[in-house]
Amino acid sequence: MRIISTSFRLGSAAFLLLLIAYSCQHSARISTVQKVQNFADSILKTDSLPGISIAYMFADLNPVTITSGMADLEMQIPMDSGMLLLSGSIGKTYVASLVLRFYELGLIHLNRPVKDYLHDEKWYDSLPNAALITPLHLLQHTSGLDRYEFKKAVWDSIRIRPEKEWTVAERLALLYQDSPLNDAGKAFAYSDANYILLGALLEKVSGMDYYALATDSILLPMKLYMTKPSDRQEIAGLCSAYTAFTEQFQLPMKVADNQKLCFNPQMEWTGGGMANTPSDLCRWAQILYSGMYLSDSALNLMTSPVPFETGISDDASYGMGCIIWKPGTAEVSYGHTGFFPGFRSIVRYYPQHKLAVAFQTNTDKLPPAASLAKYSDQIKQLILDEVPL
């Protein structure tokens, strides 16, 4: 009896210690979430944002999502973790990944002239640097092509026909009279036109519509069920959104209302072209930058910085559809930012911690001192302060 009693007491003590340890860990998790929630609430108030949706995710764990503020100010609908936000140029990460997949299959050669693939497109030769541009130049934004998306003619056309569906030729026709920004491969100049051409290249090589290709090759097999093409005005689950660029883009302040945009976002196409939740952005970052989608050699190409000044803030360079923050340091991180009228987003992957962080807001209005990269770094630090390393 005494032996049984002693064992029971020892077992009870061990159980109590386990319970205390579990409680401490549980408290830490709650504390982490609350810290990020407090940060989101503070940024919302300081920057006068309508709503924020933040997610973070460690490898092999489910993402954690925190929201703050309103998805719709007029209707007083709170931001919800399941709502979609347009992620702008983050969509370039899918395009670059597909191009590198085709490169590894031998279907796209990075240093072969794009003209060899698009020679039957009559509009192609009208582009600046047309004979010299390669897929590598397009991936790295070193082609010398300017930004069609900020041309006044685009927004004049959208004002007249907001439902307009744009062809590749219609987008790029706005560049025909331009001089190249630089000789091909000799300098960095960020432009959606590069990725529009990559979209045309992918469709030519695959024989598929780009969105069908992205869905079949990335979204479905990677289980990114909360990522949808932004190829129409009505997008189920889309958050309402507000722009500060009413004069520049000739748009109403509320650019998205009741899950419908005031113009067709299809104009962006492979320059971005996706609506996501931040949790899905975190999942994609984990998949892509940890090497689950591309081979090591292809991922190394994607994450190698161009040998030119990029002008990207926050100590960043550019690879292939990839912003590289603090390249060459122990604190290097990979991802992309995104802008679309009414929305701003960022997703970053911190390889040394196997941590992905995504931040999205339903306005493009941010104060001059605000930086999504700094916000993601602050969120990362709040999380790591509570995680034993």
CA nearest neighbour of 34 among 3, 66, 1, 76:
66
pLDDT of residue 65: 98
Mean pLDDT (the chain, rounded): 92
- How far does CA 298 lie from the centroid of its chain? 19
Q: What strands, in cross-sheet order, belong to the sheet with 254-257?
A: 241-242, 254-257, 260-261
Alpha-carbon distances, residue 75 vs 52, 234, 258 (angstroms): 16, 18, 10
Give the CATH number, domain containing residue 78.
3.40.710.10
> 344: helix, coil or strand?
strand
Looking at residue 357, the DSSP 8-state letter turns out to be: E
Give the tokens for residue 359.
């931040």
pLDDT of residue 45: 95
Digit-coded pLDDT (tens) for 95-116: 999 999 999 999 999 999 999 9
pLDDT of residue 351: 97
As for how many domains the chain has, the answer is 1
Any domain includes 239: yes
Any domain includes 29: no
The arithmetic mean of pLDDT across residues 365-386, rounded, is 90
The arithmetic mean of pLDDT across residues 198-214, rounded, is 98
The arithmetic mean of pLDDT across residues 269-284, rounded, is 98
Burial class (CB in 10 A: 0-12, 13-18, 19+), 225: exposed
Is the pLDDT at 3 greater than 50? The verdict is no
Lowest mean pLDDT among 33-47, 231-245, 368-382: 368-382
Cβ atoms of residues 231 and 273 within 8 Å: yes
CA nearest neighbour of 185 among 243, 148, 144:
144
Any domain includes 104: yes
CA nearest neighbour of 224 among 105, 320, 87:
87
Bridge partners of residue 337, in order along the sequence: 346
> 364: helix, coil or strand?
coil
Is the pLDDT at 11 greater than 50? The verdict is no
Range of the domain at 336: 34-384
pLDDT confidence of 153, banded at 50, 70, 90?
very high
> 346: helix, coil or strand?
strand
pLDDT confidence of 142, banded at 50, 70, 90?
very high
- How far does CA 146 lie from the centroid of its chain? 21
pLDDT of residue 30: 56
**CA angle, 121 then 124 then 129, to 5°:** 155
Is the pLDDT at 388 greater than 90? The verdict is no
Helices 278-289 and 92-104: crossing angle in degrees, nearest 10, is 30
Measured CA to CA, the distance from residue 274 to residue 324 in angstroms comes to 21
Give the tokens for residue 300.
């190394």
Q: Say what the pTM is.
A: 0.91
Residues ≥6 apart with Cβ < 8 Å to 350:
331, 333, 356, 357, 380
Residues of the chain with pLDDT > 90: what percent? Answer: 88
Is the pLDDT at 242 greater than 80? The verdict is yes
pLDDT confidence of 369, banded at 50, 70, 90?
confident
CA nearest neighbour of 239 among 354, 343, 124:
343
Bridge partners of residue 229, in order along the sequence: 274
Q: Which residue has the tokens 């049984």?
A: 4
CA nearest neighbour of 306 among 131, 139, 60, 67:
139
Is the pLDDT at 384 greater than 70? The verdict is yes
Digit-coded pLDDT (tens) for 287-302: 999 999 999 999 999 9
Is the pLDDT at 24 greater than 50? The verdict is no
Alpha-carbon distances, residue 326 vs 129, 274, 315, 335, 379 (angstroms): 31, 27, 5, 12, 17
Is the pLDDT at 39 greater than 90? The verdict is yes
pLDDT of residue 293: 97
Paired sense of beta strands 77-78 and 85-86, if any: unpaired
Any domain includes 244: yes
Residues of the chain with pLDDT > 70: what percent? Answer: 91
Any domain includes 359: yes
What ranges make up the beta strands (E) of 139-178?
Answer: none
Cβ atoms of residues 335 and 40 within 8 Å: no
Neighbours of 388 (CB within 10 A): 6
Any domain includes 76: yes
Digit-coded pLDDT (tens) for 165-199: 999 999 999 999 899 999 999 999 999 999 999 99
Cβ atoms of residues 321 and 335 within 8 Å: no
Give the tokens for residue 109.
């050669």
Task: Give one DSSP letter per residue of 49-102, joined into a string.
Answer: -SEEEEEEEETTS--EEEEEEEEETTTTEEP-TT-BEE-GGGGHHHHHHHHHHH
Any domain includes 131: yes
Any domain includes 352: yes
Is the pLDDT at 213 greater than 90? The verdict is yes
**DSSP run (H or E) holding 40:** helix 2-46
